[in-house]
Each structure stands twice: as structure tokens, then as C-alpha cells.
Chains A and B, each alone.
Chain A
Amino acid sequence: MKEFAYRRATGVRDALALVAADPGARYLAGGTNLVDLMKVEVEAPTRLVDVRHLPLGGVGEAPDGGLVIGATTTNSDAAADPRVRRRFPALSQAILAGASGQLRNMATVGGNLLQRTRCAYFADPAAPCNKRVPGSGCPAVAREHHNHAVLGWSEQCVATHASDMAVALAAFDAVVRYESPGGAGEIPLAEFYLPVGRTPHLETALPPGALITAVALPGAAASPRSRYRKVRERASYAFATVSVAASLDVHDGAVRDVRIALGGVASKPWRARVAESALRGGPATAERFRAAAAEELSAARPLRDNGYKVTLARNLIAAVLSELV
């Protein structure tokens, strides 16, 4: 680990100013991802600006019937909030499917959104990696990529986004709120993560030095009939191989509304819009769920060793929707 300076920010303005003043500065929240990466020197900030104690925590009501979750709310608190559990159960389930109890007590909502990929080459400074060192190459495409992306990747990077929480947020059309030196702003989750393209090192649409302040869940997306299912290499404490967040509203046997997002398949939570529009208005049957899932996955480009994810994602979408009928 490289030596670094540490300051606890006294307020949002103070945090913004401290980070703006030092190009090597980074926000520190729970530290569960950042500090791990500092230990292996994948991250080497010169200054940490601790924002975990800023008054940005807690879950509040939004005027549209939705919820606003403060950026420093712990993963545990967000998952346990009764309103989250009632209106957005898939979000609570997604958070609880991640990491461990101890980690969720430390980790924050803002930090969770910005956690880095779990690609092993990314975490090994001895290996080339376009995300870590732009232009150095991507060993994963030709080498070990059993748990890498099948959708939306480029030759430059085939890593997945690791967050469970973000998958549920994508399904619910959440909006990320931030403050930045240039002013406050909002970014819909669908636009929050940038396409990989030729710039895998540029991960989000946040302006430089921006501090995430909250995540807003629109009231219109609230769905007690929503569910998160995560398949992984063991029963708990592992990142998703493939996961699905879905909500389903069926009326008279027909799909009135449906939301589907996939985790573990792309550099960002993958909103399955193709499958959604194939299903909307049609009958809610297992065959149609399967066909819609297959249509979504027809865009997949599996690598040598991760083709199973295409089958798994298709089966999992169909299984979760069937459970929600």
C-alpha cells in the first residue's frame, strides 16, 4: 500500500473542495472495495476524503411515492428498511445477496455503485489490463474468462460489473443524484454506467470530483411483486455468476408491466428491454417467458469458456418470472 493522507470531510462542500484541490484524492466511504484495492496497489490515492459520516444517510419518502436512499446509508440499513422491503423487495433481496453481514454493515450505497470489477487481471498489477492501464491490453478475452461478460463487451474489456444492488436499481429505473464542483445533477441508472467501447477505464457518467448524494427510486416503479435471484459458485458469499432482478404485473393472465435486469453478464447491470417489450401485453406463460428471454440473449457474444452464462441467464429469467406469476 502506498502512503496517503486522510481527512474526514466536515460537510458536502468541504468534501468537494478537498477532492477538487488534489488530483490524487478519492472519496472514502465504507472502504470495503477501495482499501482492498489500495492494498494490492491497483488504487493508489494520495489522499482519502472520508465521507461516510456526512449527513447523507437514511431512507426518505419522495413526493412521487418513491424513496430516496442517502449515499452513505449502509447496505445493511438500506436492505432492512421496511419501505424498501415492501415497495422494492427485489432491491432488499439484491443487497442481502451480496457480500457478508460484516461487509454490508460497512459498505455504503454510493460505494456499492462505484465498486470495481472482480476480473482477476484487473486486481493483479503484474498483469496487463486496459481498465487499469489503458492501452496495456486485455488478457481475459483470450485467457481466463469463465466469469466474464457475454453482452455489450468490447475487445478492449470483457469484465462484468460486480454489484448486486445496482441490478435491482436498474430494474426499478433508479436515478443517481450527485453534487459536483460544477453543481448538482441527476443521472438515470440506465445512463450511469458508460458503454465499454474503447474506454473501459471510464466507467461512469459522473463528472470529475462528483460526490454521490443519494439514489432515488421512482414511485411508479414500486413493485411488491419483484424478486432478485442470484446464481453463484457457492450458496453465499460469492459474486454473481448470473443474477436477475425482475418485477411482474399480471392482469387477467396478461402481462401489464414487467421489468427485468441481469447481473453478471455485462460491464453494467443489463436491462432486458427486448424481453420486456416482447412480454408486455402478451400472456404470462412459461413458454413466452422463455422465448422472450431467448430473444434478449440472442444479442449475446459468448467467449470460449463462458457460453454457459447465456443458457443460465435465459433459464433464470424464465424461472424468476414464473415464480412471480
Chain B
Amino acid sequence: MPGVIGVVDHRNAPRLSPLAGTFFGPDGGLLMLQDGVVPYAGCPVALVVARTPEQAKAAADALPVTYDEQPHDTHFSAGHPAARPASTVFGEDANVGDVEAELARSAVVVDEWYRTPEEHCGAMELHSATAWWDGERLQAVDCNQGPFIVATGLATLFSLEPERVRVRAEHVGGGFGSKGLCGPQLVLAVMGATLFGRPVRVTMSRHQVFLMTPPRPATEQRVRIGAGADGSLRAIDHEAAFEVSPLASYVENCVEPTKTLYAAAAIRTRLTAVPLDILPPFSVRGPGLTPGSFALESAMDEVAERLGLDPLELRLRNEPAAGPVSGLPFSRRDLVACLREGARRFGWADRDHRPRTRREGRLLAGTGLAATAFSTGALPSSASITAEADGSFTVAVGASDIGTGARTALIAVAADALRVGTDRIRMRIADSDFGPAWAAGGSRGTASWSWAITDAAAKLRERLGDPERPVTVTADTTRVLGGLPPRERHAYSAIFAQVTADPATGEVRVRRLLGMFAVGRVVNPLLARSQAVGGMIMGLSMALHEEGVRDRASGRQVNADFAGYHIAAHADVPDVEADFVPDYEPDDPSGIKGVGEIGTVGTAAAIANAVWHATGVRQRTLPIRVDRVLEDDPR
């Protein structure tokens, strides 16, 4: 066909190494076009390389592909026969005290199941990569969240020495986790460049992004909480099951908040993975915590309801003095400050805690809250700074700015550390040649990169007397981080929501969202606020709209575009307020914790709790759809 340069499929594709993977271990999802097996619906079967995207698309559509059907299973449930204990990369299950005995002694016991569906990142920028061979060196311009980690993965995948691979990602239009991996766009572009000896760009369509980039796995979670009549928690038991693919290990660590948020005589957590014939799920903004906190914080609201207690008071009464499972001291714990200040601004004190008592014409109104802890802490990174002859400074760090403004924040950190104005800083980021660096992930990017920059600046300041210019120093934080005392390090938040529900139509609208955050030192208030607000909007979207739906026969996502996969529209997003209580991380030279994801966590539970307060009906399955709220006799 016109313009076609060639086709890559399992017969001619470069062989890939099964050792390549992620933090969780080898990822068989990366092994594209290696054999004639299609492990999940949406898996690429061929790449057509042509002169123009239109020619490539036309040729790809014309490519004859025949499939044999094999038995497959894409139906998730916690009780699935293949369910097995999840990997313990995030630590062992909690087993503190005797849960059954404490539940038996409790004045009230909540025992409920909570369910969250597959959710997609939906970054505005489609996944795109350009790769070419520059002599013996593989060069790529990609969109990803961590060029060094991606370059390392790519080198392993194609069995190349790491020095022979350079990946850059200087401008990225959103990631939310979906660009944390060595993505299909990059793997396929490298294959094309390798086979056809020319630069190849692969840009995925929106449909392909839905089908081929990892979602947040669906979860089913059972939470049991027992409390004494005075509201002190006796037992928390949190069992979370999530879907995985047999191709790759992954852990949706839903129980993270349960291990740290509240004191209780007994705490037990279990994580269960259910392997299905699906694309390997992976981290989506606030992984684990986001669905996990929906379950835990909804259950806490149910405990407050049964005790007839203010849900705010219930949380205040169960503040732990040390990590309730780890026993470790908290580096700083500002949850109470978030709850109290948020409650004050929201006007929580006037709340009548009884459900279904506020009518406004046809609407029912209600409010709800949720608390969050989000683990933080810098991860090893390196940075170098060059003092240039003209008195300016060039900072090079493998950071990535996926639209968060990280670049801007790092300029301020560097200027501060070098004690010069920001106009003297030239910030270069997102190049694997800049050396090892953590990614824009886990809300730990700014903390990790800033530490490396601060250390490099300290070293450089010692040498500023040298007449020699330019002079470059490099710092790597691996050693210093390894020596930090063990602590519970978390950011905290309290989210407050006000909603209305129309029982005749099931329509829920969020009227007001307020989040108070303790995220360590705030480097740039404008950027931090937009992270918090954006996160809360994502949480709102999770609460009310987002749901990946699979065809029950083929296992293929039926709503794999923005017409079918609904995210909150402008009209769904109310007045969103976000602010910060004074906080700093004592063990971090810049006092930074992290703000990228915590806004997403907690919001769904706050909204679900507000919907209960409005209607008197619990919403334990997300999203809170029209059909789940609609009443037969709406009076």
C-alpha cells in the first residue's frame, strides 16, 4: 500500500528479554510481538510503519489477522478460584492483636464489602515516542514519567548496555501513572527503528491508550471495624482483592491507610491478587490508597453512624501515638490539624448528623468527610550543577515534569540552595543521560530530586572560591537516604464534601469540596494547590463517573474512549477549595513530603459519605451512578 515501509509482527520483531520489568518484578506485558499468543484483548499484534500516520493507519486497517479463540477469563471477583495472596513488596500483612476477640468485645461492628471498578488515567496527551539509532546508540524522545527508569527498562528489554540507551521526555502532557512504564509506544518505536533503520514515531490513538496502557485494577474489599461505645476502635480488619494479569506481578496496596491511620487494639490486613486474562494493571494516581481509602473511610463513617457519633470526633478519638502496626514513631503527624482546620472552614460544627433530613425542593442535601494518610519519603536520585563562567548555574537532573510544574519548583529549590536568584538557574530535566533519578511517581519526585539538587548545591558552594570555570559537581542521595532512621512518614489530608441528590432521577451533584492538606513544606503554593485541586477533581470523577466496562464475552473494554468512559465535565466540578496546614518533614533538608496524589485519595469516600447523609442510603460500589441512587418511590 502507498507509503508503507514495513510491518513488524511476531515473526520478525526483535527478540526481547523477559527480565525487563518494574518495581514489582519482570513484566511480561512488555514482551510485545514475541509470539502468536494474544494474552489480553487490546494487545498489539503488528506495527505498520509508513511515511505518514494516515498511510500507516490505512495499512494497519487492511492487515489481515486471523484469530483462534482460546478459553479466557476476565471476570473479577474476590472469591475467584484463582485468587492468591499478593506479593509482599509493600510489607507483610498486618497481624496486630486478636481481631475476632476484639470484634466480639465491640459495642458496634461494621462488616461490609466495598467495590471499585477499573479506572483509567486518561492523560490528555496520547502516548507517543520517536526512536532512532545514532550509530551504536539508541535515542528516544518519549512521553514518560521517569526517563532514567524507562531507559534502564528499555536497555534490559532489548539486551543493550545501559550506556547505549538515551531516553528524553522533556515535555509530557499528563501521566497519572500510565506513563510510568516503558510504554508500548516506545517499545514498538524502537522495534520499527531497529528493523527499518530509520527514525520511527509511534503515536497511539485514544482507543489504543485505553486498551494498551494500564488501568487501576478493579477491587473488592471487605472491611470489618469494631468499636467500643465511646468510639475507641477495637479492631480493623481489611481484606482487599484486586485483579492482576498472570504476565506481571503488581500490588494494589489498598490496605496502606489501614496500617497507619487509626489506633486499634487489633489490626489485620490481607491483600489478594486475582489473575485474569487482562492487560497488567499498574499504578494510577494514588495507587492502592485511592480505592483502599474509599473502603476504609466509608466503613469509618458507618461506624460513626452506628455509634451516633460525629464522624469527625470518631477520627479524633483514634489518633495513634506511634505507627499502629509498625510501632515506629511518626516523623510528623498533622492529621488532627487538617481535620480541625478543614472542619472550621467547612462549617462542620453545625452539621446535624442524622441522614435524610435536609430537603431543598426536590433535592436532598448532605455532607461527608474522609481522612487520608499518604506515605512519603525521598528516593535515591542524582543531580549535577555546573557553575558557568558567566555566573549562571546549569542544573541537570533526571526529573520529569508531567504537567505538574516540577521544573518550576526545582528552579526555586536550586536558587534557594545556591542562594542566587531564579534568573541565574538553567534547569535541564528529563534526560536519562543525567544519571539515576526517581520518577514522577509515588508523590516523591520533588522530594527526591530536590534533595539531590540541594546536596549538589552544598558541594558546589564549597568550590565557588575556585577560579576555574565552568565547574561541575554531582551528588547522589543513595547513601544519605540509606542512613535515615526508620519512621512512619506520611502526608495527611481531610476532605469535606457537600452534595445534593435527586431521589427521583438518581442525579448526584457535588456542591462543594474542601481539602486541608499537610504535605510538608510547600515549595510553590500555586503549583501545590493545583495538584491538590486536580487530585480532588479526579477523586470526584472516581466517585461519580469513572468505570471501565469490559464486554463479558470478549473481555474487551466496551467504553474505550472518552465518549464512553466518562470523566467529570466542568459542570460536575463545583467550588473546590484546597489549602495547607503548616508542616515540614524533619528528615528532609527542604522539609518536603509530597503533594502529587493525595488529593485523589479520600475524595470518593467523602462524597459517598455525603450521599449517605443526603439520602440515608450507603453507596458501597463506585461509581455512584444514577441507577444506584434512583428511588422507586422518591418521596
Which residues from chain A sit less than 8 Å from chain B, CB to CB?
1-3, 41, 118, 120-121, 124, 126-127, 139, 142-144, 146, 231-238, 241, 308, 311-312, 315-316, 318-319
A234→B569 contact, CB < 8 A: yes
Q: Could you jot down 14 A-B contacts, CB within 8 Å?
A: A1-B57, A118-B563, A121-B558, A124-B558, A144-B558, A236-B570, A237-B569, A238-B566, A311-B632, A312-B630, A315-B631, A316-B504, A318-B504, A319-B362
Question: For A1, what are the chain B residues with a Cβ–Cβ distance below 8 Å?
Answer: 54, 57-58
Q: Which residue of A lies closest to B549 (CB)?
A: A144
* Contact assessment for A231 and B507 in the assembled complex, using a CB-CB cutoff below 8 Å: yes
Q: Which residues on B sit within 8 Å (CB–CB) of A312?
A: 505-506, 626-627, 630
- Bitwise interface map of B from 603 to 635 toward A, beta carbon under 8 Å scored 1, else 0: 000000000000000000000011100111010
**CB under 8 Å from chain A, chain B span 521-556:** 544-545, 549, 551-554, 556
Chain A residues with CB below 8 A from B544, complex form: 234
Contact A120 B627 (CB under 8 A): no
Tell me how far the C-beta of A120 lies from the nearest C-beta in chain B, rounded to whole angstroms: 4
Check B559 for interface membership: any CB of A closer than 8 A: yes
Flag if B559 contacts A234 (CB, 8 Å).
Answer: no
If over half of B's interface residues share one DSSP class (helix, strand or loop), that class is named, otherwise mixed; here it is: loop
Residues of A with C-beta under 8 A to B631: 315
Contact B506 A235 (CB under 8 A): no
Contact call B569/A315, Cβ cutoff below 8 A: no
Check if B421 is an interface residue, CB within 8 A of chain A: no
CB distance from B260 to the nearest CB of A (A): 34
B566:A308 contact, CB within 8 angstroms? no
A146-B627, A231-B505, A233-B545 provided; 16 other pairs, C-beta below 8 A?
A: A127-B551, A127-B554, A143-B552, A231-B506, A232-B626, A234-B569, A235-B572, A236-B569, A237-B569, A308-B506, A308-B630, A312-B505, A315-B504, A315-B630, A315-B631, A319-B504
B123 at the interface (CB under 8 A from A): no
A120 to B550 CA separation, bound complex (whole angstroms):
11
Answer yes or no: B582 CB below 8 A from chain A CBs.
no
Task: List residues of chain B with CB within 8 A of the CB of A124.
Answer: 558
Flag if A143 contacts B553 (CB, 8 Å): yes
CA distance A97 to B568 in the complex (A): 16
Q: Is the interface of A mostly helix, strand, loop or mixed?
A: loop
Q: Are A241's CB and B558's CB within 8 A?
A: no
Question: Is the beta-carbon distance between B551 and A144 smaller than 8 angstroms?
Answer: yes
Chain A residues closer than 8 Å to B556, beta-carbon distance: 126
Residues in A neighbouring B61, C-beta threshold 8 A: 41
Who on chain B is nearest to A307 by CB?
B627
CB-based contact A315/B566 at 8 Å: no
Closest chain B residue to A319 by CB distance? B504
Query: CB-CB < 8 A to B571: which residues of A?
Result: 234-237
Most chain B beta-carbon neighbours within 10 Å: one of A124, A232, A235, A316: A235
Expressed in whole angstroms, the minimum distance between the Cβ of B626 and any Cβ of chain A is 6
Q: Which of B57, B505, B627, B632 contacts A316 (CB 8 A)?
A: B505
> Which residues, 496 to 524 on B, are CB-close (under 8 Å) to A?
504-507, 509
Residues of B within 8 A of A235 (CB): 509, 569, 571-572
- 6 shortest interchain CB distances as A-B pairs: A308-B627, A235-B571, A236-B571, A315-B504, A120-B558, A235-B572
The answer, yes or no, to whether B391 is at the interface (CB within 8 Å) is no
B190 to A: closest C-beta gap in Å = 27
Most buried by A among B54, B362, B556, B627: B627
Asked if B403 is an interface residue, CB under 8 A from chain A, the answer is no
Distance, CA A143 to CA B75, complexed state (A): 13
B564 within 8 A of A: yes
- B residues near A144, Cβ cutoff 8 Å: 549, 551-552, 558
CA distance A115 to B459 in the complex (A): 66
Residue of A nearest to B505 (CB): A231
Task: Report B-chain residues with C-beta under 8 Å of the C-beta of A234.
Answer: 544-545, 566, 568-569, 571-572
Q: A311-B630, A311-B632, A319-B362 are in contact. Are A139 and B553 (CB under 8 A)?
A: yes
Contacts of A146 in B (CB 8 A): 549, 627
- By a CB distance below 8 angstroms, the chain A residues around B626 are 231-233, 241, 308, 312
Determine the chain B residues whose CB is within 8 A of the CB of A142 once the complex forms: 553
Question: In angstroms, how far is the closest chain A Cβ from the Cβ of B52?
Answer: 13
A141 to chain B, nearest CB (A): 12
A41 to B568, CA, bound (A): 29
Of chain B, the residue at the smallest CB distance from A309 is B627
Separation of A316 and B504 alpha carbons in the complex (Å): 7
Q: In the complex, A124 Cα to B551 Cα: how many Å?
A: 12
CB distance from B428 to the nearest CB of A (A): 38
Tell me the complex Cα distance, A118–B632, Å.
Answer: 27
Smallest CB separation, B211 vs chain A (Å): 11
Q: Kindly state the separation between the CA atoms of A231 and B503 in the bound complex, as whole angstroms.
A: 12
- B632's nearest neighbour on chain A, judged by CB, is A311
Q: Pick the residue among B545, B564, B625 that contacts A120 (CB under 8 A).
A: B564
A98 to chain B, nearest CB (A): 13
Q: Measured between alpha carbons, how far is A289 from B568 in the docked complex, in Å?
A: 33
CB-nearest residue of chain A to B635: A286
Given A118-B563, A319-B504: A233 and B553 interface contact (C-beta under 8 Å)? no
- Determine the distance from Cα of A234 to Cα of B509 in the docked complex, in whole angstroms: 9
